[in-house]
Amino acid sequence: APPPARGVVESMRDAVSPRPAALEHEDPPMPRDVPPPEACVSLADLVDELVPKIPSKVAREQLRRVRTLPVEMRIVGERPNLLDPNPPKLEPRRQIWMRVTKVQAHGLDECCAAYFSDHMLLVTALLPHGVHFPSPALGVVASLDHAMWFHAPFHADDWILYDVHSPRLADGRGLAVGHMYSSATGRLCVTSVQEGLLRLAQPSVARSAAHLWLRLNALYENLRAGTAFNTSMKTAPRRSPPAVGGDAVASER
């Protein structure tokens, strides 16, 4: 006999009508030192650069699906190298610009924000440990609890700044908190909190091969960059040395 069915997801919703209030504050406020979306690297561009370098056909197809998402995402900060075999250890904070681009979002703004909130929230807890997502070093990534609060109206087809930080990762459980700010109003419109499992993988032949490929690819890229630099130095025009001798003496006189 089949086992009895049991629920794996429980959802609770509560709503309140907005009303004027004498007491109001937002903390933290929308960051003011964040570059505009146009100055940030597009996730789609990163995928386009990454796909030709991936040897696995399955992985390439999974990455190509990112290009079909109805969401445009731009990453604030330095351009990440997702093929770095030894990623730097960073502070547990990430900022992303997001907006809906391929569908009509009006009337579905909260649904779009719920979809936004799951992108790069929990995995921000991996940044201080020098682990990318995805990575062959990861064994388990799974959400346990995900809660959201909608504070103010917004439009999902306007740019939304998603400011995420992780206060803790221990015992295989990570916690992350995200704040969404509307670029149109500058107001905090959504808060999201997620707890989940983040565990390293057990050693295996397949994962060791993936790590070896990452190291060889990094070596190849470094060698190619060094060759390009040497070629540019050889082809650069040489500058004439400054005048010395009689001309210099004459100019001093």
204 is catalytic: no
194 is catalytic: yes
**Set 95, 117, 182, 194: catalytic member:** 194
**Which residues, 6 or more positions from 198, have their beta carbon under 8 angstroms from its beta carbon?**
122, 123, 125, 126, 138, 140, 141, 169, 172, 173, 174
143 is catalytic: yes
CA dihedral of residues 92, 85, 139, 147 (deg, nearest 10): 20
**Residue 91 φ then ψ, to 5°:** -65, 150
Rounded distance, CA 159 to CA 150, Å?
A: 17
**Which residues, 6 or more positions from 115, have their beta carbon under 8 angstroms from its beta carbon?**
71
**Set 45, 62, 104, 118: catalytic member:** 118
Q: Which residues of 156-174 are buried (b: 16+ CB within 10 A; e: fewer)?
A: bbebbbbbbbbeebeeeeb
**Set 143, 145, 204, 247: catalytic member:** 143
Q: What angle do CA 142, 75, 200 make, to 5 degrees?
A: 30
**Which residues, 6 or more positions from 208, have their beta carbon under 8 angstroms from its beta carbon?**
none
- For the annotated catalytic residues, the residue numbers are 118, 143, 194
